[in-house]
Structure 1
Amino acid sequence: MFAFDRRTGPDLGVDYPARDVPGWYRDAKFGVFVHWGLYSVPGWAYPGPEVDVELAYSHHQYAEWYANTVRIPGSPTADHHERTFGVGASYEDLADQWQPKAPEGWMALFAECGARYVIPTAKHHDGFCLWDTATTRFGSLHRGPRRDVVAELADSARAEGLRFGLYYSGALDWHVSHFPPIRSTTDLFTFRRNDEAFARYCFDQVAELIERHAPDVLWNDIDWPDSAKAAGPYSLSTLFERYYDAVPDGVVNDRWGVPHLGFRTREYTTEGRTTPWVWEATRGLGRSFGYNRAEDDRHLIGPVELVHLLADTVAKNGNLLLNIGPRGDGTLPENQVERLRYLGAWLRDHAGAIYGTRPWRRHAEPSGVPVRYTVRPDGALNVIVLDPSVGRFRLADDLSGNIATWGDGPAEVIDGYVTIPERMRELPAAVLVTEYSSVE
C-alpha cells in the first residue's frame, strides 16, 4: 500500500486525511477510459496540423470540447457545425438527436483486451448527465437516449469482472453557466463558477453517483468550485468522507484543487523516471478523447508504440488509462478496436510483466537496446526488451550473473549478452525473467 503524507489545505480550515492507494488499483495497471456523450453526435474536432498556442482553443483537438469550440466565431468547429446542422442550430438542440442503442459488447471487449477497470464519463463539461439525476432535466433520462446510461455501463462492466469508475467534470458545466467561450488557459480557470449554489449542485450530483453506483474510482476533471473547499455540510471534504464510507477501497485522482489525492494524472505526457508516487498516464487512441470523425489512422497511436507506452508507464510506477471514443450510435471505431486487440494479445502472453508488478530501482538503462524493468510479486525481475528485432542485447552489469528465462525455457547468456529467440524477434516487446530478488 502507498500512502501520501497527511496535509492540511492552506487557508481552508479543513484537514484532508491521508489515504492509501488501494492494492487493486496498483495491481491493475491498465484501464479503459470511455468518452461518450452528447458531443459524440457531431463527433468532430479540428484534426490538425498543429497550430500556435493562441489558436489552441479555437482549433481544439478534443471533440468533447465541441460545445465550447462551436461558440468561438471563425473556428473550424463553428464552420463545421453550420455546414452540418444549419445556421442557428445550437449544441444543446442535438440532445434530442442522440438516440443510441444500448452499448453492446463494450465491456466484454475491454476485459478481453486486458483492461482491469473502466471509467466512462458521467458528465463532461457540456453538463449533459448520463444517469438518473434529480438535479437537472438536461440528461439522458429526459433527452436523447431516455435511459440511465451510467447504470447500463456499470452493470455490464461488473458483469465482466471489471472495476467501475466514473469521470465527472467538477469545475466546468457550460449548461448552467453564462460565461463566454474559453479561448485560453487563463480563461479555463477564470470562466468557471465558484458560487455556493453551483458547489451544492456538484455535491448533489456526485453524491447521487456514489449512492447509486459506488464507483471504484472518482475521476474528477479540471478542479472543484472554490466555495466548497473549506469545511461545511456540502464541502469537498464531506463528499470525500461520504465516498470512502461507501467505497472503502475507492480511490480518487488529483484534479480537485485541494491537498488530497490518490494518484496523479498525466495527460498525453509521461513521467521522466520512476516516481515515488502512484500515477496514471491517460490519452486517447487518437488525438481526441471523444469520437472525432475527422481522424484516421494517421492520427492514432501505432500498435507497437502502444505496447511500449504501457511497458514504460508501468516501469515508472504508473497505470495506463487508455481512452476509446464511441460513435454517437454506440458503435466503436474499428481502427481503435484493432489497437486495443493488438495490445490485448500481447498482454495475454506477457501478463506477468505487467499485472501486479512494482517498479525496480530504475525503469530503464541510459544506453544500449531499450529495455524497461518491472518486478513480479515473487521478486523476480522482468526485463522488457522493446526492440527484439536486434537479436541480442547486453544485460546490465548488476544482472549478468543471474539465471534468466524467456518464460518457456532458459535464456542463452554468453559473456553478458542475451540471445533473443527467433520466435520473439517480431514481437513488439519480449520479456526476459531473471531471478534478481532485490527490490528497491
Structure 2
Amino acid sequence: MNRRKLLQGFALGIPSLLASKSFANNILPFAENHKGLEPIISGPFKPTWESLQSYQTPDWFRDAKFGMWAHWGPQCQPEAGDWYAREMYMEGNRKYKYHLEKYGHPSVFGFKDVINVWKAEQWNPEELVSLYKNCGAQYFMALANHHDNLDLYNSKYQKNWNSTKVGPKKDIIGGWAKAAKKNGLPFGVSVHAAHAWSWLETAQRSDKNGPYAGVPYDGKLTKQDGKGKWWDGLDPQELYAQNHPLSENSLDNGMIHRQWHWGNGVAVPTQAYIEKFYNRTIDLINKYSPDLVYFDDSQLPMWPISDVGLRITAHLYNKSIKDKGKLTGVINGKILDENQRKAIIWDIERGQSNNIEPFTWQTDTCIGDWHYNRELYDRKGYKTAKTVIHTLIDVVSKNGNLMLNIPLRGDGSIDELERKVVEDIGVWMRANGESIYGTRPWKIFGEGPAQEGAAALSAQGFNEGKGKPFTDKDIRFVVKGENLFATVMGWPTTGEVLIKSLGANSPYRSSKINQVVLLSTKQALKFEQTNEGLKVFFPTSMPEESYANALKIS
C-alpha cells in the first residue's frame, strides 16, 4: 500500500486502519541511530500503538478533574482573536482588514513583525497560577508553541525563533513551569507547531486587488532579505517553513480543515521538517519535564505520515517512570478510535461526550476565543462562571476532566471581567469541590431534559452550547467511596427536587438512603423516597453561587 493510498483511506474515514499492523509497516519510521535525532528513553513503552495500549491513566489525572490553560503567545498581541497569524494573510478577511489598520500591509509588516512588538511586559506567571489554583484548578497547562511556529521556550532546535531570542526575550515555559511548581500543581504544555507547514501557506499569497495587487506577502522571505532590518541575520523560513509548493486548493481558506490529517492533497512535509519538530518536542520535554503534553492533532503529530508522535509519547511515558518511579505522564490527542484511547487520553475540543466513557478523557474549552479578543471583552461576551461549572459537572459525571483557557492580553495580563469569572468559579469550587475531586462515574451519569437535546460530536468535538441549557430538572451523578453525589443544575423554583433515578425500586441503587446533605452549606435536608423517586426539600434561602447544587447522599 503506497502513502498516497494510505492518505486517501484516512480521508475517506477509515480510522481503524491507522492502528493496524499493515498500516504501521508502511509509514516511514526513523532509523534508530539516525544522526542528529534526540534519543528516546528506553523503558516498557515502545513507539507503537500496540505497546502504548498498555497505558494506565495516572491517578493524579483521574482525580484532578479541573485544569487551567494559558493559551497565550504572540497571536494575542493584536488582541483580535483566533488564528491571527493565518488570517492576517487572507485578503478581505476581518483580521486582514484589522492588520492593515493597526500595522500596515502584510508584505511590509508580517507576522514575524507582530512577534517583534510582543513584549509580554505585564506577565506575572506566579500571580496568575496562584489565582488559578485558588479557583480550584488541580493542574496547569501553558502554550509551548502554536501553528505560528514560534517556540515559547529556550529552544535548542528553534534556536533563533523562540521567545528568549525575539519578542519578549523571556523563557515563557520556564516561567510557567516555575510558577506551577511553586503552587504544587502538575504542569502541562500544549504543542501545536506540527501544522505550521500548511497552516501558514497563506503567507505565500499576495493581494488580488488594490494598490498592493501582486505584491507577495512576507511568507517567502529569506535571510538575505533582512539586511538592515530588525531581523537582520534571522531566516524567516525557519519560522514560516514556506519554502515548499502550495497544497492542492491552497487558496480555498477552508481546505486546511480537510487536510488536517495530512491527506486530501496537502503538501506533505519534508523529513527534515518532521525531524526538526520531533527534536523540538523532545527537547521541550527534557528541559521542562512536563507531566502532560497536549497535541492539537488528530491522533498524534504527523500521523499517519510519520511515527514521531508515537516516539514522543513513548519517551514521555518512559521518562516519567525513570524520574518518578511510576507512570505519571499524560498525552492528549484528538479524534481517537477505541484502541487509540487506550494509548493516550482522548481530548474533545469545545465539546462533551454524551456517554460515560470507559477511559478518562478531557474536554478543552475557553471562556472566549483561544487567543485574546478585545471585541469579546468590549461586548461582555465571555462565558459565565455558571456555564463553566455546568460544563465541569457534566463532564466529570461522564468520566472526564475539564481544561479551561482564560485568554490573556498580549501584555500577559488578565482583564477584570475574566478575573471575576475565575473568582466566581473559585467560590463554587470551595463550597462544592468534594463532589468533583477524586470522584468516579456512577452507573448512570444523570437524568433530565438537557441530555435529550444534546448534540452529537463533530470532528474534534465542537458540540458545546448546541443542546438545551441545564435547569433544576437536570441532575448529574458521581460517586466517591460510599457516598453518592447528585448535583442539581439549578435552584428549584418549587422548593423541591424529584430525582427519579433514586426511587425506592431503583435498579441503580438498592441500599437505603439515610441522609441527604446540601454540600455547600453542610445542611441536612428533609427527603422522601417513594417508588416515584427521591424527593428532596430545599431550604428557603439560597447559598452563594446556587446555579448548581451538590447533594451528598449517604
Taking structure 1 as the reference length, the TM-score comes to 0.86
State the Cα deviation string for residues 313-371 of structure 1 (Å, max 9, x = none): 11111111111111111111221221111111100011110000011111111458211
Cα distance in 1, alignment partners of residues 288 and 543 from structure 2: 45
Matched, 1:134 2:165: no
Matched, 1:393 2:413: no
Aligned to 2:312: 239
Cα distance in 2, alignment partners of residues 208 and 315 from structure 1: 37
Q: Residue 227 of structure 1: CA displacement?
A: 7.3
Aligned to 2:59: 23
The equivalent position to 1:208 in structure 2, one of 283, 297, 302, is 283
State the Cα deviation string for residues 396-431 of structure 1 (Å, max 9, x = none): 353554122224242201354211123336611111
State the Cα deviation string for residues 280-322 of structure 1 (Å, max 9, x = none): 1111101x11111111354211222221111111111111111
Of structures 1 and 2, the larger Rg is shown by 2
Matched, 1:171 2:194: yes
Q: Show structure 2 runs of 5+ residues with no match.
A: 1-18, 26-46, 201-239, 321-326, 450-471, 505-511
Is the contact made by 1:406 and 1:432 (CA closer than 8 Å) also made in structure 2?
A: yes
Q: Residue 181 of structure 1: CA displacement?
A: 6.5
Cα distance in 1, alignment partners of residues 296 and 61 from structure 2: 19
Matched, 1:106 2:106: no
Aligned to 1:59: none
Letter in structure 2 aligned against 1:295: L
The equivalent position to 1:78 in structure 2, one of 68, 90, 96, is 96
Greater mean alpha carbon deviation, residues 237-246 or residues 422-431: 422-431
The equivalent position to 2:539 in structure 1, one of 421, 425, 428, is 421
Q: Residue 257 of structure 1: CA displacement?
A: 7.8
Matched, 1:405 2:517: yes
Is the contact made by 2:76 and 2:409 (CA closer than 8 Å) also made in structure 1?
A: yes
Is the contact made by 1:33 and 1:323 (CA closer than 8 Å) also made in structure 2?
A: yes
Q: What pairs with 1:182-331 in structure 2 (closer than 5 Å)?
A: 183-184=253-254, 185-189=257-261, 190-191=265-266, 193-223=268-298, 224-226=301-303, 229-230=306-307, 235-247=308-320, 248-255=327-334, 259=340, 261-286=343-368, 288-296=369-377, 298-331=380-413
Is the contact made by 1:388 and 1:425 (CA closer than 8 Å) also made in structure 2?
A: no
Q: 1:42 to 1:289 in 2, by over 3 A?
A: same
Cα distance in 1, alignment partners of residues 115 and 167 from structure 2: 5
Is the contact made by 1:364 and 1:371 (CA closer than 8 Å) also made in structure 2?
A: yes
Q: Residue 182 of structure 1: CA displacement?
A: 6.7
Greater mean alpha carbon deviation, residues 309-318 or residues 275-284: 275-284
Q: 1:166 to 1:142 in 2, by over 3 A?
A: same
Cα distance in 2, alignment partners of residues 194 and 168 from structure 1: 17
RMSD: 2.2
Cα distance in 2, alignment partners of residues 395 and 38 from structure 1: 49
Cα distance in 1, alignment partners of residues 251 and 70 from structure 2: 25
Is the contact made by 1:198 and 1:225 (CA closer than 8 Å) also made in structure 2?
A: no
Matched, 1:375 2:464: no
Letter in structure 2 aligned against 1:290: H
Is the contact made by 2:148 and 2:193 (CA closer than 8 Å) also made in structure 1?
A: no
Letter in structure 2 aligned against 1:202: F
Aligned to 1:48: none
Is the contact made by 2:190 and 2:296 (CA closer than 8 Å) also made in structure 1?
A: yes
Cα distance in 2, alignment partners of residues 162 and 177 from structure 1: 38
Greater mean alpha carbon deviation, residues 130-139 or residues 348-357: 130-139
Letter in structure 2 aligned against 1:429: A
Q: Residue 228 of structure 1: CA displacement?
A: 6.1
| Number of aligned residues | 405
Aligned to 1:12: 24
Taking structure 2 as the reference length, the TM-score comes to 0.69
Aligned to 2:550: 431
Matched, 1:92 2:165: no
Q: 1:162 to 1:399 in 2, by over 3 A?
A: farther
Q: 1:205 to 1:110 in 2, by over 3 A?
A: same
Greater mean alpha carbon deviation, residues 175-184 or residues 362-371: 175-184
**SS across alignment from 1:172:** helix
Is the contact made by 2:448 and 2:473 (CA closer than 8 Å) also made in structure 1?
A: no
Letter in structure 2 aligned against 1:142: K
Q: Residue 8 of structure 1: CA displacement?
A: 4.8
Aligned to 2:185: 162
**SS across alignment from 2:376:** coil
Letter in structure 2 aligned against 1:394: L
Cα distance in 2, alignment partners of residues 268 and 257 from structure 1: 16
Is the contact made by 2:335 and 2:346 (CA closer than 8 Å) also made in structure 1?
A: no
Q: Show structure 1 runs of 5+ residues with no match.
A: 1-6, 46-62, 436-440
Letter in structure 1 aligned against 2:79: G
Aligned to 2:146: 124
Cα distance in 1, alignment partners of residues 294 and 99 from structure 2: 30
Q: 1:40 to 1:379 in 2, by over 3 A?
A: same
**SS across alignment from 1:294:** helix
Q: Residue 92 of structure 1: CA displacement?
A: 1.1
Greater mean alpha carbon deviation, residues 309-318 or residues 360-369: 360-369
Aligned to 1:144: 167
Cα distance in 1, alignment partners of residues 501 and 335 from structure 2: 44
Cα distance in 1, alignment partners of residues 21 and 416 from structure 2: 46
**SS across alignment from 1:132:** coil
Cα distance in 2, alignment partners of residues 346 and 330 from structure 1: 26
Letter in structure 2 aligned against 1:277: F
Cα distance in 2, alignment partners of residues 342 and 26 from structure 1: 24
State the Cα deviation string for residues 248-298 of structure 1 (Å, max 9, x = none): 310101249894642211112211122222211111101x11111111354
Matched, 1:337 2:419: yes
Greater mean alpha carbon deviation, residues 102-111 or residues 365-374: 365-374
Q: 1:228 to 1:242 in 2, by over 3 A?
A: farther
Letter in structure 2 aligned against 1:207: I
Letter in structure 2 aligned against 1:293: R
Letter in structure 1 aligned against 2:370: F
